[in-house]
Amino acid sequence: MIIPGSGSQALAAALAEATGEALATPTYDRFPDGEQLAAVPDFAGDSATIVCSTTGDEAWVELLQLQDAVREAGATEITTVIPYMGYARQDQAFKQGQPVSARAMARAVSTGTDRVVLVNPHEPDVADCYDVPVDHVDAAGVLAAPLPALDDPLFLAPDESAVGLAETVSEAYGAGDTDYFEKHRDRDTGAVEIEPSDATVQGRDVVVVDDIIATGSTMSEAIGVLEARDADRLFAACVHPMLVRNAATKLRNAGVERIVGTDTVERECSCVSVAAAVADAL
């Protein structure tokens, strides 16, 4: 049975469709003091696949409760799909006294599951933080489908670590060059500086590809540089469209024609599903 977290209901339904598994109808309640109570009253069977993006602290609590609820209801095999894993970027103590938050969350999740499936985690090494087997799904290729016909396309990563994603989208699109910018982020202020690559962008359609758009600082800096260098149409593509606060507006004002994201985070721009790729991993 597929068990959706409250923020992953569309993806869980698509996954139920792709796998032929039944879709449970959890309830997501709260006690008067604010404590959460996620439950799965219609759970039946031995095997549970929980699908829960951890986009915030509440989602982490919900995930742990869903794991415990299905175990209590008789599940003997639990798979936890975390389409977007929050805290994955705090995968080391960057300053004295900081936690490795990714490890803390992964350990908690590991206590309630037999295996974990992650979709394009920020760093693949985050798998080492779990105490159960972890499978990775690379779903970046789906980002090519919603793109329009592009003129002399360039698929650009805002930093070197995302160049593999840009290559995957370019390959799935079936044309285009790939390149990356050098990115520097001030760890105290969060301010992002992008240094232009050598690629020619003038008159070309450019798709900037990243794993996540959070505040939109990285993407809007990259778009600003491309605008200044007379690129033609500009698209922002990411697997995880977190788009916190005014990120979407920042991108529009920077000159983005369209934001393309997947349903690992359910937002207005989540126009393609990772369900088929996740189904393959189950």
Interface residue list for ligand R5P (CB under 6 A): 89, 158-159, 161-162, 192, 210-219
Residue 250 annotated in active site: no
**Least distance (Å) between residue 46 CB and ligand R5P:** 38
Q: Which of 122, 183, 204, 267 is flagged as catalytic?
A: 183
Closest CB to ligand R5P among residues 70, 242: 242
**Least distance (Å) between residue 209 CB and ligand R5P:** 10
**Least distance (Å) between residue 236 CB and ligand R5P:** 10
Query: Could you give the C-alpha distances from 158 to 26, 76, 136, 236, 242, in angstroms and in order?
Result: 39, 43, 22, 11, 17
Q: For residue 131, give the nearest of 145, 114, 154, 153 by alpha carbon.
A: 114
Neighbouring CB atoms inside 10 A of 167's CB total: 17
Angle between helices 247-254 and 217-228 (to 10 degrees): 0
Angle between helices 57-72 and 101-110 (to 10 degrees): 20
Closest CB to ligand R5P among residues 3, 59: 59
**Least distance (Å) between residue 37 CB and ligand R5P:** 32
Closest CB to ligand R5P among residues 159, 227: 159
**Least distance (Å) between residue 56 CB and ligand R5P:** 15
**DSSP per residue, 104-122:** HHHHHHHTT-SEEEEES-S
Q: Is 128 helix (H, G, I), strand (E, B) or coil?
A: helix
Closest CB to ligand R5P among residues 118, 212: 212
CA distance 266 to 11: 8
Burial zone of 79 (CB within 10 Å; 0-12 exposed, 13-18 middle, 19+ buried)? buried
Closest CB to ligand R5P among residues 213, 223: 213
Catalytic residues: 183
